[in-house]
């Protein structure tokens, strides 16, 4: 089908930063898992059904600890609570994508969210397919990275320190891009300021939920002003 080929041609270049990031971060996960005595089948299982960076790193720690699935469930609920915000942000954009929708929801990672939010399909390419291909490719990269790291982990001494900055850099670039494209910087400032305040108050382990509440509350507080000024749909 030429349609699919056109979509992949349009989508693939946009996934390159994540290709680099996920291969390395996935590999770092694979190495860690291997160091705890879990082989490639476990890496494959986890990357396929969990598919969450920080979630899988925490899961490795959980596997090394005492058995408590309820604690694991609740801890991961908190670590991944930021996904709730992605869902709210993408309600409109994912509407009407049919059977592709549950897949794209399952594939919602930090990186996929940020790429989906910051890119438009070229003319003639269906947006649903475009987002579907980007999301699916990302999952593929992540699985590959995990397997490579897990299999080679024992052979090569790979120090993953600093690798995660690939992703930070991606977010910084998107932040700057959004900043330049928007006149009102209040939502962006709230997005930096509120989590920073929560981080200082609650510490790195517990700041995420209070940070999200604070962001939502502040956005609510400035709703009249922001609503009057916002014309375009948010996820641009």
Partner 1 sequence: MTDSQAFVTIVAVAAATMLTRFLSFAVFSDRKKTPAFILYLGIVLPYSVIGLLIVYCFKDVSLFTRPYGLPEAAAAALTAVCFCGGKTS
Nearer to partner 1 among residue 158 and residue 175 (C-beta): 175
* Distance of closest approach, residue 2 Cβ to partner 1, in angstroms: 31
Nearer to partner 1 among residue 22 and residue 207 (C-beta): 207
Using alpha carbons, list the distances in angstroms from residue 17 to 108, 145, 153, 163, 165: 16, 14, 23, 13, 12
Spatial separation of the C-alpha atoms in residues 126 and 115, rounded to whole Å: 16
For residues 118 and 125, the answer to whether their CB atoms sit within 8 Å is no
* Distance of closest approach, residue 189 Cβ to partner 1, in angstroms: 8
* Distance of closest approach, residue 27 Cβ to partner 1, in angstroms: 18
Nearer to partner 1 among residue 129 and residue 207 (C-beta): 207
* Distance of closest approach, residue 4 Cβ to partner 1, in angstroms: 25
Spatial separation of the C-alpha atoms in residues 90 and 78, rounded to whole Å: 20
Spatial separation of the C-alpha atoms in residues 137 and 42, rounded to whole Å: 21
Quick check: helix, strand or coil at residue 45? helix
Nearer to partner 1 among residue 9 and residue 222 (C-beta): 222
Nearer to partner 1 among residue 11 and residue 208 (C-beta): 208
* Distance of closest approach, residue 122 Cβ to partner 1, in angstroms: 19
Burial class (CB in 10 A: 0-12, 13-18, 19+), 127: middle
Which residues, 6 or more positions from 118, have their beta carbon under 8 angstroms from its beta carbon? 174, 177, 178, 236
* Distance of closest approach, residue 171 Cβ to partner 1, in angstroms: 5
For residues 62 and 72, the answer to whether their CB atoms sit within 8 Å is yes
Nearer to partner 1 among residue 131 and residue 208 (C-beta): 208
């Amino acid at each position: 089908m030429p349609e699919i080929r056109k979509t992949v041609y349009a989508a693939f270049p946009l996934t390159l930063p994540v290709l680099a990031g996920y291969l390395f971060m996935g590999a770092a996960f694979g190495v860690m898992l291997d160091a705890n005595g879990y082989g490639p089948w476990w890496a494959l299982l986890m990357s396929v059904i969990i598919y969450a960076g920080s979630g899988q790193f925490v899961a490795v720690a959980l596997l090394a600890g005492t058995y408590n699935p309820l604690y694991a469930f609740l801890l991961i609920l908190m670590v991944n609570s930021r996904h709730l915000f992605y869902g709210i942000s993408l309600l409109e954009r994912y509407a009407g994508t049919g059977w592709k929708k549950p897949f794209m929801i399952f594939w919602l990672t930090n990186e996929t969210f940020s790429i989906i939010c910051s890119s438009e399909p070229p003319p003639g390419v269906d947006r649903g397919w475009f987002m579907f291909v980007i999301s699916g490719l990302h999952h593929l990269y992540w699985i590959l990275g995990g397997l490579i790291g897990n299999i080679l982990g024992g052979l090569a001494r790979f120090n993953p320190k600093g690798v995660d900055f690939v992703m930070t850099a991606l977010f910084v670039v998107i932040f700057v891009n959004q900043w330049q494209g928007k006149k009102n910087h209040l939502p962006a400032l709230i997005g930096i300021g509120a989590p920073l305040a929560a981080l200082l108050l609650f510490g790195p382990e517990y700041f995420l939920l209070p940070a999200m509440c604070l962001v939502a509350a502040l956005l609510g507080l400035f709703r009249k002003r922001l609503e009057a000024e916002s014309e375009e749909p948010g996820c641009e």
